[in-house]
Amino acid sequence: MRRASALGFAVLVVAAPWLIAAAVPRQQRYVLHVLIFTALFAALALSYDLVVGHVGSLSLAHPAFFGIGAYTAAILATAAGWPFAAGLLAAVLVAAVVAALVGVPLFRLAEHAFAVGTLGLALVASIVANNWVEVTRGPLCITGIPKPALGSLAVTTLPAYYWLALSALAAVVLLYRGLTTFRLGRAFHAVRDNEPLAGAAGIDPLKYRLLAFTVGAGLAGGIGALYAHYLSVMCPEEMTIGLTVNLLVIVFLGGVGSLRGVLVGAVLFTALPEVLRLAPTWRLVIYGLLLLLVVVRSPEGIESLLRRAIGARAAR
Amino acid sequence: MRLALALATLLFLAFSAGAQAPPIKIGFASAMSGPAAITGEGVRWGGTLAVEEINAKGGVMGRKLEAYFADNKAQPGEAVSAVRKLADVDQVDVIIGQTHSGACLGAMPVVKEIGIPMVVESCSHPKIRELSGKGGNEWTFRVALDDEIMAYTFARYMAKQGVKTSSVLAMNNDFGRGAATAYEAAFRKAGVKLVSTEFFDPGQPDYRPVLARLKRANPEAILGVILASDGAPFLRQFRELGLTQKVYARGSLASAEFLHQVRDNPRVGDGVVEASYWITGLDPDWDRKWTERHKIPPRIHGSLAAITLKWAVVPALEIALKKHGKADRASIRAALTEVDVKDSPLGPIKFDANHQAWINMILIEMRDGQLRILEKLPTSPAFLN
Amino acid sequence: MYAMVAAGLALMLGVARLINFAHGEFFMLGAYAFWFAYRELGVPYPLAAVLAPAVMVAFGIAYQHGVIRAILPRSWHVQLIATLATSIVLTNLAIIALGTQPKEVPTVLSARILDVGGVRVAWQRLLVLGASVVIFWALHRFVARTRTGRAMRALSQNREACAVVGVDVQRVAMVTFALSAALAAAAAALVSPLFNIFPDMGTALTLKAFAAVVVGGFGYVNGAIAASFLIGLTEALAGSYVSYAYKDAIAFLVMLAVLLWRPQGLFGRRLGI
C-alpha cells in the first residue's frame, strides 16, 4: 500500500510538466520555474542537512561551497569552453576539496567557535567573489553561461530542465539515504548525539564530521553548477549569507535530520510563498515568526507535527 | 416602450463594449525586499502614481492601464522569477524595470525566451546595449544612459574644464564597478590622467580609510560613483579630513534626497558637479504630485520608471493600437522601435539599432545648499569611438 | 563603537552562554529610538541619548521574557536559530514600519571639527571616545562590585552550582539582556550622528561584533573590548594601506587565524567574565 502510494507520487512528480500544461496552460512555464527552484533548493537543503542534521555541526559556510561550485562551472563553461558534464564534475570536486582543506582546522573548534568560524569563511568567500574581478568579473556577473547539454542531448526547454533538476534531487536523495541509514549513518548519529561515547566506541568523530562536511560541500557545489547553468548568469549576490538563512529556515522549519522534513521545508519555503504571493517584507516577517515558534515549541520541525497529527488520527 | 427597450439595449451594448476593451497590463520589476529595497519602493510609488495619472486622463486611446509589481531582490536569479511571474501569472503586456544591472542581465535571456518586451529604466551596464537589438536580444530596450556613454561625455567635459589628473572612487557593486571600468577608458581618451581607483562598500559608515588613501594619491579631482544615502557621511568626512579636491560625481550625490539628509548643513555639498540624466525640476508637475502623495522628494528610480512609462511605453502603445489595432507583446515590441519622442523630460527618446535611447546628460551643481542645472549635454554614439 | 556592541554580546555569551544573533538589531532599534526622540520629538541630545538606552532596556526585558526564557535551557542550535529568526523579524518589521529611507541625525558636534596639527577629527568622535571610557568603567564596576554583577560572574563560571545555591538564573539573564541592550542603544545614540540609520544596519555589525567576541575570547568582556579596538584598527589600517575593498575580508581572516591559532581567543581562558 505504502509502496503503491509512493510509486503514484513519483509518477505524479515526473509527469508534472504535462499535468501543469493541462491544468493551467497559460502559467505552465512559471509553475515549472518555481518547481525547478524548489527541486534545486530541496537538494541544496538536503546537502546542508547532512552536516547540520546528521553530524550535528552547525556550519554557516554552505553558500561559499554553493558559490564555489557555481563559479567553477560558470568560468569553465564560458572562458574555457568545457562541456557541461565536465564542468559539473569539476564544480563538485573543487567545492569538496576546498571543504576538506578548510574542514581540518575548522573542526578543531568547539560549537560556537565552529559556527562563527564557518560564518567568517562564508563572508570571506562572498567578499572575494565581489572583488576578484579578473576571475569572477565581480558584481558585473558572469553572463552567457550556455544551457546544459549531455552529449548530443541538449537541455533547452523548461520541462527538460525540470527533469534534470529532478534527477539531481533524486541523486542527492539516494546519496543522503545511503549515507544516513546504514552503518555509516549510525556512526554519524553517534558522533552527533554523544561525541565522547562515540570516541570510546572507536569512532573517530573528526573523520565522520569531515566526511559529511566534504560530501555536503561537494553536493552544494554541483547544485551551484546546475543553478548557474539554468540562470545563464552568476553574480556574487547569489552566495551571500542570506542563503544560509534560507537554508536554516528550510531545514529547521521542516525537520532537522529528516529526509521528508527537509523536503517539506523546501516546498513550504520555495513554492508556497510564490503561490500565496505575500508582500516580500511581510513574507520574511512571517517566516521569522514561524521559525521562532517552531524551534521554541517543536524543535523537530513541522514534519514531526504533521506526523504526530496523522499518528493521533490513525490511533483513534 | 419598444423604443425605450431598444435604446436601453443599445446603451447596454455600448457600455459592455466599452467595458470589454481589456486593460493593458504593465509590469514593474525592481528590488522590493533586501538591502536594495529602497529602489523598489520608489518604483512601486512612481509606477502606481503614473498609471493613476494616465487612467485619470482616460487611459491610452480608451484603454485603461493596470500596474503589476514583482520583486527581483536585485539578484539575477530572482529577476528570472520576477519576469516569469509578471509574464505568466499576471499576463502583463510589457515590463518596465529591473533597476539593478545584475537583475537586468539575469532577466534578458528570459524576456527573449518568453517574447515579452522589457524597457529598462535605469540599469547602467554597457553590456546591456551590446546585447540588445542587433546584438541579439530584440526584446530589450533601454531608456537610461549607460556608464560608458556617460563616462565618455563626462570625461570630455572634465578635460574641457582643465582637469589633468583624477582619482575614481566607486561603490563596490555592479553599478560602481561598471562605472569605474568605463571611466578608466574614458579618461584615457579625453587625456585625463587616472591617479588611483578605490572601491567602498555601500552602506559603509566609515570613509576615513579610503579618504586617507585619496589624500595620499593627491589628484586634482575626484570622480565619485556614490549614492545620496552614502553621500552624506562621505562628504561630511571629506570635509572633516580637510580634502580640497573638486568632486565630480555619478550616482545621486547632487540630489534632493541628499540635501534632504543634510538639511542641517546643506552647504556641505557645495561645489560638487554631478552627471546624471534625471533630477527633480525636469518635470515640476510630477515633483509636485509625488511630494503631495509621499511627503518626501521624488526618488530617482520611481521617477525614471514613471517617465519610461509615460514617454516610451505609452507612445509605443499608441503606435501599436493605431497600426495593428491591438497591443499584444509582439506589436508593442515592434512599436517600440518606432517610438520617436522629441521632448520628454529626459530629452529625445528614440531607440537605435541597439535599442538604446540617446537622451540628454545633465550636469548638476550644488551651490549654496541648492541644486541647479549647470548644462544639458546631448549624447551621441559618436563620442564612443 | 564595535567595542560597545561587542561588549554587550560578550556579556550575553559569557553569562547566558548564548549567541544572540539579534544583537545588531538591538543597535538598530536603539538608533531608531534615538532618532525618534531627537529628530521627531525634538528632545535635546543628551536627554535623547539617555532615553534611547532606557527604551532598549525595556525592550531587552521584553525579549528575554518572550523568547529567551523559553530557549535558555535548550541546546545552542535552538538558541542560535531562535535569535537569528528574531533578527529577521526585527529587520523586516523596521523596513515595513520605518521605510528604507536612511535617517540622518547630525548634531552640533558632528559638524564641528577639531584640527590639531593637521589631524582633523569631528568633536562627536571625541565624545564617543570619552563616553565609551566612562561606560566601560561603569560596566566594570557593576560586574565587579554589585550583588547582581557578582551573580553574573558566578553564573558564567558554573551554572549548575549557582542554581543549587539559589541564584535565580532567569532573573540574572534578564538583567544581562537589559544591560546589553542598553549598551547597544548607547553606542547607537553616540555614533549615529556620524553615520546613517537604516533597517539593515544591525546585520553587518553583529558579524563584526562576533569577530571581536571570538578574537577576544568567548564571553570574556574585557577581551572583547580589547579585540574590538584591534579589529577596528586592523580594518582601518588594511583599508588605508592594503585595499579598501578587501578590508572586511582581512578583518575576518584575522579572526579565523586567531581562532585556529588559539581556539580560546587571544585573551580567553575558558568561559567566564
* Cβ neighbours of C234 in B, within 8 Å: none
Q: What pLDDT is attached to residue B315?
A: 92
Q: Which of A110, A119, A292 sits opposite C85 (nearest CB)?
A: A292
Contact C240, C224 (CB under 8 A): no
**Can you give the pLDDT at residue B273?**
92
- A interface residues, C as partner, C-beta within 8 Å: 56, 58, 105-106, 108-113, 115-117, 119-121, 123-124, 127-128, 130-131, 245, 248, 252, 256, 281-282, 284-285, 287-289, 291-292, 295-296, 299
Most confidently modeled of A141-155, A232-246, B23-37, B186-200?
B186-200
Distance between B199 CA and the closest CA of chain A, angstroms: 9
The secondary structure element, H or E, covering residue B210 is helix B208-217
Place of cell 546643506: B266
User: Grid coordinates 554589585 are at which residue?
Assistant: C146
Chain B residue numbers with beta carbons less than 8 Å from the beta carbon of C106 are 236, 262, 264-265
DSSP structure string for B269-320: GTT-EEEES--TTSSHHHHHHHHHHHSSPPPHHHHHHHHHIIIIIHHHHHHH
Question: With 80 as the cut, is the pLDDT of residue B196 above it?
Answer: yes
Contacts by A286-289, CB closer than 8 A, 24 or more apart: A287/A249, A287/A253, A287/C88, A288/C85, A288/C86, A288/C87, A288/C88, A288/C89, A288/C92, A289/C85, A289/C89
Burial class of residue B309 in the structure, from the number of CB atoms within 10 Å of its CB (0-12 exposed, 13-18 middle, 19+ buried): buried
Nearest CB to A58: which of C70, C80, C255? Answer: C80
Instruction: Report the greatest alpha carbon distance in chain A.
Output: 65
Rg (CA), chain B: 22
Q: Which residues contact B131 (CB under 8 A, 6 or more apart)?
A: B108, B137, B140
Q: How far is A241 from chain B (nearest CA, A)?
A: 12
Residue type, C190: L
d(CA A294, CA A305) in angstroms, rounded, equals 10
Of A285-299, C53-67, C252-266, the one with minimum mean pLDDT is: C252-266
Determine which of C98, C113, C196, C231 to mutate to test the interface with B (most B C-beta atoms within 10 Å): C196
B84:A30 CB<8 A = yes
Comparing alpha-carbon positions, the chain A residue that sits nearest to B74 is A237
What confidence score (pLDDT) does residue C101 get? 67
Neighbours of B373 (CB within 10 A): 13
d(CA B276, CA B373): 10
The lowest-confidence range among B128-132, B252-256, B374-378, C105-109 is C105-109
Q: Is the pLDDT of residue B14 over 50?
A: no
Decide if C248 and A123 are in contact by the 8 Å CB cutoff.
Answer: yes
> In chain A, which residue's Cα lies nearest the Cα of B71?
A280
Q: What angle do CA A233, A239, A241 make, to 5 degrees?
A: 155
Minimum Cα–Cα distance from C262: chain A residue: A109
Q: Tell me if chain A has a CB within 8 Å of the CB of B84.
A: yes
The H-or-E segment that residue B9 falls in is helix B2-20
Q: Does A237 touch chain B (CB under 8 A)?
A: yes
Q: Is C258 on the interface with A (CB under 8 A)?
A: no
Cβ partners under 8 Å of residue A246, min gap 6: A41, A269
DSSP assignment, residue B141? E
Please answer yes or no on whether A235 and B172 come within 8 Å at the CB atom. no
Are B328 and B312 contacting, i.e. CB atoms less than 8 angstroms apart?
Answer: no
Type of residue at A157: T
- Which chain C residue has the Cα nearest residue A116? C210
Cβ–Cβ below 8 Å for B200 and C100: no
In DSSP notation, chain A reads -HHHHHHHHHHHHHTHHHHHHHH-GGGHHHHHHHHHHHHHHHHHHHHHHIIIIIS------HHHHHHHHHHHHHHHHHTS---HHHHHHHHHHHHHHHHHHHHHHHTTS-HHHHHHHHHHHHHHHHHHHHH-HHHH-GGG-B--PPPPEETTEE--SHHHHHHHHHHHHHHHHHHHHHHHHSHHHHHHHHHHH-HHHHHHTT--HHHHHHHHHHHHHHHHHHHHHHHHHHHS-B-GGGGSHHHHHHHHHHHHHH-TT-HHHHHHHHIIIIIHHHHHT--HHHHHHHHHHHHHHHHHH-TT-HHHHHHHHHHHHHH-
Higher pLDDT among residues C268 and B180, named by residue? B180
- State residue B368 phi and psi, 5-degree precision: 50, 40
Pick from B198-207, B351-360, C16-25, C107-116: least confident? C107-116
d(CA C190, CA C128): 6
> What is the band of B331 on the pLDDT scale with cuts at 50, 70, 90?
very high
Q: How many A×C Cβ pairs under 8 Å? A: 114
Q: How far apart are CA A100 and CA A217, in angstroms?
A: 9
Q: Is the pLDDT of residue C1 over 70?
A: no
Predicted pLDDT of residue C253: 80
Sign of the four-CA dihedral B147, B148, B154, B159: positive
Exposed, middle or buried: residue A180 (CB in 10 Å: 0-12, 13-18, 19+)?
buried
Strands A149-150, B24-30: parallel, antiparallel or unpaired by DSSP? unpaired
The amino acid sitting at B372 is R
DSSP state for residue B138 in the 8-state scheme: T
pLDDT of residue B166: 93
Cα separation, A291 vs B148, whole angstroms = 46
C112 touches chain B (CB under 8 A): no
User: C203 to chain B nearest CA, in Å?
Assistant: 10
Q: Given this model, what pLDDT does residue B211 score?
A: 87
d(CA C124, CA C192) in angstroms, rounded, equals 10
Residues of B in contact with A66 (CB under 8 A): none
Q: B8 vs B346, which has greater pLDDT? A: B346
Nearest-CA distance B260 → chain C (Å): 9
- CB-based contacts of A114, cutoff 8 Å, min separation 6: A57, A58, A59, A106, A107
Q: Which chains have at least 3 CB atom pairs separated by less than 8 Å from chain C?
A: A, B
Q: How far apart (Å, rounded) are the C-alpha atoms in residues A159 and A241?
A: 30
Q: What is the pLDDT of residue C272?
A: 42
- Chain B positions touching C191 (Cβ under 8 A) are 205
pLDDT at B96: 94
The three grid cell numbers given for residue C212, joined into one nine-digit string: 571581536
The chain-wide mean pLDDT, for chain C, equals: 72
**Nearest-5° Cα angle at B121, B119 to B126:** 90
Higher per-residue confidence, B177 vs A36? A36
Q: Would you call B328 an interface residue with chain A, using a CB distance cutoff of 8 Å? A: no
The per-residue pLDDT for range A180-200, each reduced to its tens digit, is 777 777 777 777 777 777 777
Residue of B68, B168, B174 to mutate, interface with A, max A Cβ within 10 Å: B174
**Chain B residues in contact with A30 (beta carbon < 8 A):** 84-85, 87-89
Subunits that touch chain A (at least 3 Cβ pairs < 8 angstroms)?
Answer: B, C
What is the C-alpha to C-alpha distance for residues B105 and A228, in angstroms, rounded to an integer? 13
Does the pLDDT at position B15 exceed 50? no
* A18 min Cα distance to partner chain B (Å): 17
3-state secondary structure C116-150: ECCEEEEHHHHHHHHHHHHHHHHHHHHHHHCHHHH
Judged against a pLDDT cut of 60, whether residue C99 lies above it is answered with: yes
Weakest-pLDDT range from A168-182, C158-172, C246-260: C158-172
Residue C11 has pLDDT above 70, yes or no: no
Cα-Cα-Cα-Cα torsion B3, B9, B10, B12, nearest 10 degrees, comes to 140
The terminus-to-terminus CA distance of chain B in angstroms comes to: 77
Are C260 and A291 in contact (CB < 8 Å)? no
**Per-residue model confidence (pLDDT) at position A313:** 55
Residues of chain A found within 8 Å of residue C260, distances taken between Cβ atoms: 105-106, 108-109, 117
Please tell me the pTM assigned to this model: 0.78
Q: Let me know: does B69 contact B138? Beta carbons within 8 Å.
A: no
Q: What is the pLDDT of residue B317?
A: 92
Helix axes of C221-237 and C201-216: crossing angle, nearest 10 degrees:
110
Local confidence pLDDT in tens for the 316 residues of chain A: 466 777 777 777 777 777 777 777 777 788 888 888 889 989 999 998 888 877 777 888 899 999 999 999 999 988 888 888 899 999 999 999 999 998 888 887 776 778 878 888 888 888 888 777 777 777 677 877 888 877 677 777 888 888 888 889 999 888 888 887 777 777 777 777 777 777 777 777 778 888 889 999 999 999 999 999 888 888 887 787 778 878 888 888 787 778 888 888 888 877 777 666 666 667 778 878 887 887 777 666 666 666 666 665 555 4
Please tell me which chains touch B, using 3 or more CB pairs under 8 Å as the contact test.
A, C
Q: CB contact, 8 Å: B274 with chain A?
A: no
CB-based contact C236 B264, cutoff 8 Å: no
Contact residues on chain C for B296, CB-CB shorter than 8 A: 101
pLDDT above 70: percentage of residues in chain B: 93
B–C CB contacts, 8 A cutoff, strictly below = 77
Nearest beta carbon to residue B209 from set C110, C195, C239: C239
Q: Of the ranges A248-252, C49-53, C119-123, which one carries the lowest mean pLDDT score?
A: C119-123
User: Which string of DSSP letters, residue by residue, matches chain C?
Assistant: -HHHHHHHHHHHHHHH----TTHHHHHHHHHHHHHIIIIIS---HHHHHHHHHHHHHHHHHHHIIIIIHHHTTS-HHHHHHHHHHHHHHHHHHHHHHH-SSPEE---HHHH-EEEETTEEEEHHHHHHHHHHHHHHHHHHHHHHHSHHHHHHHHHHH-HHHHHHHT--HHHHHHHHHHHHHHHHHHHHHHHTTTSEE-TTHHHHHHHHHHHHHHHH-TT-HHHHHHHHHHHHHHHHHIIIII-STTHHHHHHHHHHHHHHH-TT-SS--SS--
d(CA A188, CA A55): 5
Cα→Cα distances A143→A45, A132, B78, B83, B109, Å? 26, 16, 15, 18, 10
**Is residue B242 within 8 angstroms of chain C, CB to CB?**
yes
In chain C, % of residues over pLDDT 70: 65
Cβ distance of B213 and C101 shorter than 8 Å = no
3-class DSSP state of B358: coil
How far off is chain B from C113, nearest CA to CA, in Å? 6
